[in-house]
Chain A
Amino acid sequence: MYHKFDVIIIGAGGAGLMGAIQLSGSSVAVLSKVYPTRSHTGAAQGGVAAALGNLEEDHWKWHMYDTVKGGDYLVDQPAAEILARDAIDAVYELEHRGLPFNRTKDGRIDQRRFGGHTRNYGEAPVRRACYAADRTGHMMLQTMYQNAIKNQVRFFNEYLVLDLLFNEGRACGVVAMEIRTGEVSTFHAKAILFATGGYGRAWRVTSNAFACMGDGMAIAYRRGIPLEDMEMYQFHPTGLYRVGVLLSEAARGEGGKLLNGKGEYFMERYMPTLKDLAPRDIVSRCIIQEIKEGRGVDGKDYVYLDLTHLGAEFINEKLPDITDFARNYLGVEPITEPIPIQPTAHYAMGGIPTDVDGRVVIDPQWTPMPGFYAAGECACVSVHGANRLGTNSLVDLIVFGRRAGRHIAKFIAENDHVPLPAEPESFARELLDHLYTSTGGESAAPIRSTLQNEMDARVFVERDERGLRHALDTLDGLQDAYKNVQLQDKGKTFNTELVETIELGFLLDCSEATIHGALARTESRGAHYRTDYQQRDDANWLKHTLAYKGAKTHDVRLDYKDVILIDDPIFKPKERKY
């Protein structure tokens, strides 16, 4: 089948839908591999930061400062300024579109504290996170989907994108498979927005949905687009023990505390000012340190999140969902018992490099690829640098999803379609033919499982050269095995074994860029902590990694581009203390 639109958006989470609803009146189609309301934005819990100042004094510049410092100075500072300034207007836009925020007594949007968000450049925590109970992402996703319905956006639900097309130096379409029928279609467009999310399923203990397989990042990477800062991967401190399900930082924003096996509130010892509300990379490292020094619970690899002092009424009003997760999956009653937690794979700071209008840029000179846009977790603007602050993911979606949508509106007004390349579906059809006919005898599940165990063991909160080399060897073997994957299900109708196998290929590619970037970066910065290079090294490493896929399997080329700083002494890189 052949479809022609002005704009094709891949992914129906926050960034994709925020882009889509800016484009009313244009011919826009959104492709999603799940029904839009199943997108992983819906799992975000705690809030969306914006310096509204509804409860106490706040300024966008303080938010910008926290973002830059939280990212351990790997943030492009002009982008952080846009993030913090645009957040205010974007939150109001969502309220006007119907998002049911919690309210203050006088009817304004209520705001709560969150990790790393401070007043007056680090003095004390500030109430900046606008929220809707502990399901802010759910409310945001619903609101955006509702507005897309209102704007009559065309949806292609349960379509898996397989390839991105270029011609005459421009992006011009995608090839996708309808999961229900197995039929392959070409979507021809003037502009393509990738909003495909992250790849948290590369780890076993993860907060991420099964859908988070790195689709868009890998498809771009295979087509010669670099991936930026993939070694910067966030492990959220409070995942439910063994299950990985997220317990929002809002739990600590509302007064919850971390407790070690000896009954000590240990964060006070490490970070005297912000304590439990220090940024996530730091809190996760402190938890690992406690465990390494034998102060995990019963000597095991977990600690507690303690909410018992907050009281039943408060917990039921402010944190109803996450306390249900603890009851349901661990049989723990959070009102009277502390909750077993461990760091869980959560968020990719890196991704497809873009400028502040969502335009994909393909080299250290910031050369744009006309017609190709990316936003949300799959993109790297870079506003999160080496560590994202809590709530800034939702801010990223609404600010840069919106900016991408608006820039696309201009682009499609000024440009026509370029013709499709010859035989646009050849790559996708070869991939499918290979998988349907392979008799290699391997299967996807054990390859994925080995990858996840390796990433948990060696590409986690702490890394070193020996471990990363081991991970690379393992990955090389898995990539070779992947070529021989053989399907049991050869059907066309809703073949989820086929879908999972294609997704595993995406996951292997994202992991490849991650491990190569991590091995090369011989310093510790933000979420990337090397036990063999424990200091941050601004002289050599105040720069972004760009990983390019080589011509042959296992082949990766690394390049670098400078971090953009602004001329303001407040934002000059310095040691990060909280």
Chain B
Amino acid sequence: MKLLVRIKRYDPEKDSKPYWAQYGVEADPIDRLLDVLNTIKWTQEGSLTYRRSCAHGVCGSDAMRINGRNRLACKVLMRDVGEKVTIEPMLGFPVIKDLVVDLDPFFDKYVAIKPYLINDDPPPATERLQSPAERARFDEGTKCILCGACTGSCPSIWGNPDWVGPASIVNAHRFIFDSRDQGAAERLAILGQSDGVWRCRTIFNCADACPRGIPVTDLIEQVKRAIAFGDTKTE
């Protein structure tokens, strides 16, 4: 199939502001959008810049705004986007070059919610026990690949870049509801502050954007309830 690809481009060494470039490409309907970007880079425009690594949706490198929605370029097939596709860097992050955004602030916010198991008891000689039901309680959040698609799709982040954002809350949830963890109170205190969970307006863009199918907004609501009612043990 013949494709027209519009890409929002910006090179800080050359351009005073971003501009739209267009590329015509021949592609197979089952090609990934990432394959198409590679074709452009390798046959037409060597300076086209984007991140990519695993190419099958598990590393989270190639999150970008595709026809107005945040998606991983390696999970979008050409048959699903039609003959015209528009690609931009994700909103809500500073642009470094073309489709590459600065994710350092995103990872700083992840660090801020203490994303590690907190448990000061001496560990047993073998594993800590955890029932399948206790394990299932926090399963959804463990799927997160920190691609930034949810956070970059959130109008609350667009309006307030300092907000902690959905991805960090998902990762806080993963520990708050882990039966082995003892740090729930610390994390809930962080997320109860003014730049914590309450800036979420339940818009659901995040859940739509998540390439891992995590019900992001539901998890945020569970954290809100845990702060409001102090309950981390039940659904």
A325 to chain B, nearest CB (A): 6
With A37-B145, A103-B135, A321-B58 given, name 17 new contacts (CB 8 A): A38-B53, A38-B59, A38-B61, A42-B58, A97-B116, A100-B135, A100-B138, A102-B135, A443-B46, A488-B47, A491-B14, A491-B97, A494-B96, A494-B97, A495-B47, A495-B49, A497-B46
* Contact between chains at A497 and B47 (CB < 8 Å): yes
The listed residue (B43, B107, B116, B126) touching A35 by CB distance below 8 A is B107
Whether a CB of chain A sits under 8 angstroms from the CB of B8 is: no
* Contact between chains at B58 and A107 (CB < 8 Å): no
The listed residue (A40, A210, A445) touching B42 by CB distance below 8 A is A445
Interface centre among A102, A105, A209, A211 (most CB of B within 10 A): A209
A211 to chain B, nearest CB (A): 5
Q: Give the chain A neighbours of B12 by CB distance below 8 A.
A: 493
Whether a CB of chain B sits under 8 angstroms from the CB of A426 is: no
CA distance A98 to B171 in the complex (A): 13
Q: Which residue of A lies closest to B127 (CB)?
A: A95
* Contact between chains at B142 and A325 (CB < 8 Å): no
CA distance A549 to B145 in the complex (A): 39
Provide the main secondary structure of the chain B interface: loop
A-B residue pair count with CB separations less than 8 angstroms: 151
Whether a CB of chain B sits under 8 angstroms from the CB of A487 is: yes
* Contact between chains at A209 and B46 (CB < 8 Å): no
Q: Give the chain B neighbours of A39 by CB distance below 8 A.
A: 59
Interface centre among B11, B59, B180, B181 (most CB of A within 10 A): B59
A:426-446 near B, CB below 8 Å: 443, 445
A:58-106 near B, CB below 8 Å: 92, 95-98, 100-106
A242-260 CB mask vs B (1 if < 8 Å, else 0) is 0101000000000000000
B79 to chain A, nearest CB (A): 9
CA distance A107 to B57 in the complex (A): 31
Whether a CB of chain A sits under 8 angstroms from the CB of B128 is: yes
* Contact between chains at B53 and A103 (CB < 8 Å): no
Q: Which residue of A lies closest to B98 (CB)?
A: A494
A513 to chain B, nearest CB (A): 24
Interface centre among A34, A38, A102 (most CB of B within 10 A): A38
Whether a CB of chain A sits under 8 angstroms from the CB of B185 is: no
Q: Give the chain A neighbours of B42 by CB distance below 8 A.
A: 443, 445
* Contact between chains at B103 and A100 (CB < 8 Å): no
Q: Give the chain B neighbours of A95 by CB distance below 8 A.
A: 127-128
Q: Report the interface size class on chain A.
A: 35 or more
B:49-105 near A, CB below 8 Å: 49-61, 75, 77, 96-97, 100, 103-104
Q: Give the chain B neighbours of A24 by CB distance below 8 A.
A: none
* Contact between chains at A328 and B75 (CB < 8 Å): yes
Whether a CB of chain B sits under 8 angstroms from the CB of A177 is: no
Check A146/B115 contact, CB under 8 A, given A38-B53, A38-B59, A494-B97.
Answer: yes
Q: Which residue of A lies closest to B123 (CB)?
A: A96
Q: Which residue of A lies closest to B131 (CB)?
A: A107
* Contact between chains at B56 and A108 (CB < 8 Å): no
Check A138/B47 contact, CB under 8 A, given A147-B116, A209-B55, A493-B96.
Answer: no
Q: Give the chain A neighbours of B111 by CB distance below 8 A.
A: 149
* Contact between chains at A491 and B47 (CB < 8 Å): yes
A:5-64 near B, CB below 8 Å: 34-35, 37-40, 42-43, 52
Check A138/B145 contact, CB under 8 A, given A147-B116, A487-B46.
Answer: yes
* Contact between chains at A493 and B11 (CB < 8 Å): yes
CA distance A325 to B130 in the complex (A): 30
CA distance A494 to B146 in the complex (A): 21
List 19 A–B pairs whose Cβ atoms lie within 8 Å, in order of A's numbering: A34-B59, A35-B103, A38-B59, A92-B127, A95-B127, A96-B123, A98-B180, A101-B127, A146-B116, A149-B115, A209-B59, A211-B53, A328-B77, A487-B46, A491-B11, A494-B49, A494-B100, A495-B49, A497-B47
* Contact between chains at A142 and B142 (CB < 8 Å): yes
CA distance A520 to B61 in the complex (A): 40
B:160-213 near A, CB below 8 Å: 175, 178, 180-181
Check A180/B96 contact, CB under 8 A, given A325-B56, A497-B41.
Answer: yes
Q: Give the chain B neighbours of A106 by CB distance below 8 A.
A: 129
Whether a CB of chain B sits under 8 angstroms from the CB of A474 is: no
* Contact between chains at A40 and B45 (CB < 8 Å): no
* Contact between chains at B127 and A109 (CB < 8 Å): yes
The listed residue (A98, A103, A135) touching B178 by CB distance below 8 A is A98
Whether a CB of chain B sits under 8 angstroms from the CB of A337 is: no
B:113-166 near A, CB below 8 Å: 115-117, 123, 125-132, 134-135, 138-139, 142-143, 145-146
Q: Give the chain B neighbours of A157 by CB distance below 8 A.
A: 104
CA distance A210 to B74 in the complex (A): 12
